[in-house]
Amino acid sequence: MGLLRPGNAGSNTAADHTGATRLALAQLPKRLRRGRQTLIRTDSGGGTHEFVA
């Protein structure tokens, strides 16, 4: 998956990870979204309080 961003966007920010995660989870079938835990793996940019919250 690729997302186009402005040329002045920061790299590997928590906002990037949050947006990409929301888009990815939205693609799951509804039967897999409710009441289940999903493992999400990220690089070091995902290891922030903002993303984890």
Structural domain spans, the chain? 14-52
Residue 23 corresponds to which tokens in the numbers above? 């888009």
Tokens of 31: 């039967």
pLDDT for 4 equals 77
Q: Which two tokens stand for residue 8?
A: 């002045």
Q: How far is CA 4 from the centre of its chain?
A: 15
Query: Is the Cβ–Cβ distance between 35 and 1 less than 8 Å?
Result: no
Handedness of CA 39, 41, 44, 50 (dihedral sign): negative
Per-residue model confidence (pLDDT) at position 12: 72
pTM greater than 0.85 (yes/no): no
pLDDT digit of tens for each residue in the chain (53 aa)?
Answer: 577 777 777 777 788 888 888 888 888 888 877 777 888 888 777 788 888 88
